[in-house]
Chain A
């Protein structure tokens, strides 16, 4: 088991000394090379969950095991890509991509590796440009290149496609799938988009609301690329929609 999550809970301390439970008692096993999608309402704690996996937050209780070892803090083998590209404006596209490798002094044939990911993400024409000259779609490609170049084992994606337009989104999703099929990372994608979840996920985890708990786990074994008009997938979409709407109070 690549990742084992046991009785994981997380709560924020509020100002009036009360606690807000965000995640409660989550148990989840994630196999190596699986593509897991976590879906839930906005604000249900999906991002918190991913930040816990990344090591940016520490669980209030429970444990988080990666390769049977308790996680402590961030580790470059668990690479996080977020909705905002978060590129550093004083570095060129190329330097943004190699930023993490420079920090960790992984300089071995760095320029060839950078070249490879620039090509993979179609950034050849802008590699010397600065981030403020890039469109959002391009900037997100740079963020993907930066997240992938360090050869991570686990890829944590926090709605990375949410702020892209339709054509950029579908292109980048398809490219991500291609890279995943080649490299076999363990991917955990957080999203609120049901279509996206069905298109890319092999295991869909539906989170309930406040505090977030796992409500359902759905396995999809259809081949890629998937077609949303496929009867089986369409029925699945309706099923997920129903499950999600049942979780919201006002329905």
Chain B
């Protein structure tokens, strides 16, 4: 009973404001506590695994050396060049996926026949791991760079496409009727009603796409290109600099976290449904 009334209070509009502030303060305290706990566990478990004499050389995997290596890595230009080329690949891939995904998503949302026509191919292609395309991409495309872009595009097109479709399907028909009555032509209907109405869905799609792209990027970069964070990992393994290797892993996590945060920030800014 108590839990239920607590829930009601949290969803009641009039209670929302003070509640929100309170939650945010707790969130930041718990957030820091979570990081501390995570580092603690990392140290303890790392020590337990690496306590044997055979593992002496792997001390670099522990938090302290890793963070140290991260700082010295961040002082090099090469690291930032790698970050730049990785992020550039993701951005280009997602732009390509958007150019393909949104028009197709809208078409599928609009035309029932088109939806039925594409349903099985889309569900089939969506389920193929993007990395399974790797050998084919390398054989058919002129360079590794293109192959990586292809992989990111094919991985991110699905969340963008499916969310664009959802966006169109969820537009209340009364809005279309209203706009038509107000004199909207097809072009205006698309750009003044349908596109803004599906913005919340499209942004959700982007956020999912960034998550997927970041996951696909590193293994794709492991396969023979000479720039990017995936390449750096491979390089550190080959030179047996394990603290540096771990530092790059941390950097990858942090960058992904930042990208997602940026996405959330944009979402808060232009998503009318959250207001």
Tell me if A54 counts as interface (CB < 8 A to partner B).
yes
Q: Mark A72-103, 1 if CB is under 8 A from B, else 0.
A: 00111011101010101110000000011001
Q: Range of interface residues on chain B? A: 20 to 34
CB-based contact A74/B273 at 8 Å: no
Tell me if A132 counts as interface (CB < 8 A to partner B).
yes
Residues of A within 8 A of B183 (CB): 74-76, 100, 103-104, 150
Tell me if B188 counts as interface (CB < 8 A to partner A).
yes
Looking at B175, B177, B196, B275, which has the most chain A CB atoms within 10 Å of its CB? B177
A90-B196, A90-B199, A103-B188 are known contacts. Are A132 and B275 too (CB-CB below 8 A)? Answer: yes
CB-based contact B174/A82 at 8 Å: yes
CB-based contact A86/B175 at 8 Å: yes
Q: How far is the CB of A131 from chain B (nearest CB, A)?
A: 9
Residues of B within 8 A of A82 (CB): 174, 177-178
Residues of B187-225 whose CB lies within 8 A of A: 188, 192-193, 196-197, 199
CB-based contact A56/B175 at 8 Å: no
Tell me if B179 counts as interface (CB < 8 A to partner A).
yes
CB-based contact B174/A79 at 8 Å: no
Residues of B172-188 whose CB lies within 8 A of A: 172, 174-175, 177-184, 188
Tell me if A180 counts as interface (CB < 8 A to partner B).
no
Instruction: Provide the bound-state CA to CA distance between A99 and B275, in Å.
Output: 20
Looking at A51, A104, A150, which has the most chain B CB atoms within 10 Å of its CB? A104
Residues of B227-244 whose CB lies within 8 A of A: none
Instruction: Provide the bound-state CA to CA distance between A51 and B177, in Å.
Output: 9
In the complex, residue of chain B having the shortest beta-carbon distance to the beta carbon of A83: B174
Residues of A within 8 A of B273 (CB): 89
CB-based contact A130/B275 at 8 Å: yes
Q: How far is the CB of A100 from chain B (nearest CB, A)?
A: 3
Tell me if B272 counts as interface (CB < 8 A to partner A).
yes
CB-based contact B182/A56 at 8 Å: no
Residues of B within 8 A of A46 (CB): none
Q: How far is the CB of A121 from chain B (nearest CB, A)?
A: 17
Q: Mark B103-122, 1 if CB is under 8 A from A, else 0.
A: 00000000000000000000
CB-based contact B184/A103 at 8 Å: yes
Q: How far is the CB of A107 from chain B (nearest CB, A)?
A: 14
CB-based contact A103/B275 at 8 Å: no
When the two chains form the complex, which single residue of B178, B182, B192, B272 contacts A89, counting CB atoms closer than 8 Å?
B272
Tell me if A146 counts as interface (CB < 8 A to partner B).
yes
Residues of B within 8 A of A75 (CB): 183
Residues of A23-82 whose CB lies within 8 A of B: 51, 54, 56, 74-76, 78-80, 82
4 closest Cβ pairs, A-B complex: A100-B182, A90-B272, A86-B178, A86-B174
10 examples of A-B residue contacts, CB within 8 angstroms? A51-B177, A75-B183, A76-B182, A79-B181, A82-B178, A86-B178, A88-B175, A88-B193, A99-B182, A130-B272
